[in-house]
Amino acid sequence: MATAERLIAEPQVRHTECFIGGKWLPAASGKTFETINPATEEPIASVAEGDQQDIDLAVDAARRAFDSGPWSRMDARDRGRLMYKLADLIEDEIDELAALESLDNGKPVKDARAADLPLVIDCLRYYAGFADKIQGSTIPIRGNYFSYSRREPVGVVGQIIPWNFPMLMTAWKWGPALAAGCTVVMKPAEQTPLTCLRMAQLAQDAGIPDGVINVVPGFGPTAGGAIVKHPGVDKVAFTGEHLTAQIIMREAATSLKRLTFELGGKSPNVIAADADLDAAAVGTNFGLFFNQGQCCCAGSRVFVDERVHDEFVDKLKNLAAGRRLGAPLEMETDQGPQVDQAQFDKIMSYIEKGQAEGAQCITGGKRYGDRGYFIEPTIFDGVNDDMSIAKDEIFGPVMSVLKYRDWDEMIERANKTFYGLAAAVWTRDVTQAHDFARRVRAGTIWVNCYDVFDAAAPFGGFKMSGQGRELGEEGLRPYTESKTVTIHLG
């Protein structure tokens, strides 16, 4: 059972090395890098900087566990049991893990505790239940044959994740991989390695055999690149920027690895004139500012029917101005710092571009405080489709408000992006809601809500926002291969 919610002022950093074949090892090169507390800009810990040599060891361990180890012989239901156990161990440590996530990433501990961690636990349990339900079918082919299909694990999977939801992205990747019977080599983001490393130890404590889960912290082009190029890796699952996915696709071409991608977005969030404006304002504020705006599905293009524009924008402004910025480990904090200096600089440069291109900054627009990567919740009004802030993914607390007059024209504008991850509409008109859901080209559509995630509901992108889906039964498929067996009956 979960412990009572309690504040951990100084979360413990217990693991900083590579986790390979069930052992904690320094990087073969001996190198380390510092993970920084984004609220103070001070180092938290030195972490092993894995590169190709460590990935080679990790892939060997994962291959052995897959090809001949106990994992390959274990009954599916027993695999599921170990996954339930891992979920239980995470739940037992929920407060500590939420605090560690908050320390390394900068997200408010309140959010990590109420959103990230429950979703992590739920995802692992959801896929644990799937372990013994992955099955094939019998196939009625012509002739005197018995033909059937099997769904088998794809093999060793390389998993490369970003820093915005470190534990949740770990769970989204491990859940389907373990349920399907795959083994894993994971590289967490260089900004946020700590909770993924802790999860690796909990996986071992749960009884998941050595070599099934391997975690190698390090940088993208070196450790990540080595995973992508390694001939012993059968599939790569990646979450991050589309530009990185393009590199990965090119590098994976040699071995024709299976690839799934969950990438960026510039999601439209539409406020129709008949919407419940109070609910829409709360949902819009949450849909953009949650997690400091660092969500691939952030509702960053807010289209408002011109008839309700002024009233709605007033509400948005009040909500944004009411957000409490501060130390992520304090329970009252609504908004923490951005994850690092590079993100801070990129977001500030977009705020400058918004101003230079003629949008009106109606709240925020500045750094908050003088220590840590804090940026005020910022809203630009009077944005048009061609401005940089309406086109590019900013990945920060910067909202663009665009007016619309005509419904069909709005749908066309909503689709005028190479992204297609998510979209939302706020309306009381059910016909209008369905029309929007059918015509907007995005992998997830929310109606009168935003950021509703569930382990059972597939998530992923149209167009440059991704390839394949995560979560749900659909999220399992890329972790399996289909095999057809045909037997001559004499």
| Residue 388 tokens, joined | 């940089």
- Please, are residues 35 and 47 in contact by the beta-carbon 8 Å criterion? yes
The CB-of-236 to ligand ADP minimum distance in angstroms stands at 8
CA distances from 150 to 128, 180, 273, 484 (A): 19, 12, 52, 6
Q: How far is the CB of 354 from ligand ADP (least distance, A)?
A: 20
Residue 208 near ligand ADP by CB under 6 A: no
Q: Which of 128, 168, 189, 199 binds ligand ADP (CB under 6 A)?
A: 189
Tell me the two tokens of residue 107. 């997200």
- Kindly indicate which of the ranges 87-95, 120-128, 183-191, 307-315 contains the residues binding ligand ADP, using the contact rule CB under 6 A: 183-191
CB of 96 to ligand ADP, least distance (A): 23
Task: Please tell me whether residue 229 binds ligand ADP under the rule CB under 6 A.
Answer: no
Does 166 help bind ligand ADP (rule: CB under 6 A)?
no
Q: Is residue 187 part of the contact set for ligand ADP (CB under 6 A)?
A: yes
Q: If DSSP states are collapsed to H, E and C, what string results for 266-280? A: CCEEEECCCCCHHHH
- DSSP conformation class of 297: T
Coil, strand or helix: which one is 488? Answer: strand
Give the per-residue contact string, 255-274, with ligand ADP (x = CB under 6 A; - = no).
--------------------
297 annotated active-site: no
**Where are the alpha helices (H) located in 392-458, listed in sequence order?**
407-414, 430-439
369 to 388: interface string for ligand ADP, x by CB under 6 A: --------------------
Contact between 241 and ligand ADP (CB under 6 A)? yes
**Contact status: 108 vs ligand ADP (CB under 6 A):** no
Residue 107 binding ligand ADP, by CB under 6 A? no
| Interface region with ligand ADP, contact rule CB under 6 A, candidates 24-32, 242-250, 348-356, 432-440 | 242-250
Binding ligand ADP (rule: CB under 6 A), the pick from 225, 326, 337, 466 is: 225
- List the Cα angle 172/174/175 in 5-degree steps: 65
Q: Is 241 designated active site?
A: no
Positive or negative torsion for Cα 438, 439, 444, 445: negative
Give the separation between CA 99 and CA 105, rounded to whole angstroms. Answer: 10
Give me the residues paired with residue 187 across strands: 160
d(CA 427, CA 280): 9
Q: Does 392 bind ligand ADP (CB under 6 A)?
A: no
Select from 108, 193, 224, 443 the one that contacts ligand ADP (CB under 6 A). Answer: 224
Kindly list the strands in the beta sheet with 398-404, ordered across the sheet, starting from the edge strand earlier in the chain: 360-363, 378-381, 398-404, 301-305, 268-271, 422-426, 444-447
Q: Which of 8, 247, 308, 437 binds ligand ADP (CB under 6 A)?
A: 247
> Which one of 160-168, 174-182, 254-262, 469-477 is the stretch in contact with ligand ADP (CB under 6 A)?
160-168
Compute the least distance from the CB of residue 154 to ligand ADP, in Å: 19
Q: Which of 77, 188, 171 is nearest to 121 (CA)?
A: 171
Please identify which residue in 220, 382, 458, 468 interacts with ligand ADP, judged by CB under 6 A: 220
| Dihedral angle, C-alpha 32, 187, 17, 5, nearest 10 ° | 120
Smallest separation, CB 248 to ligand ADP (Å): 6
- C-alpha–C-alpha distance, residues 209 and 170, integer Å: 18
Paired strand residues for 283: none
- 221 interacts with ligand ADP by CB under 6 A: yes
CB of 50 to ligand ADP, least distance (A): 11
Contact, 154 vs 481, CB < 8 A? Answer: yes
Closest distance to ligand ADP from the beta carbon of 55 (Å) = 11
Which positions touch ligand ADP (CB under 6 A)? 160-162, 187, 189-190, 219-221, 224-225, 228, 240-241, 244, 247-248
Q: Which residues are catalytic?
A: 262, 296
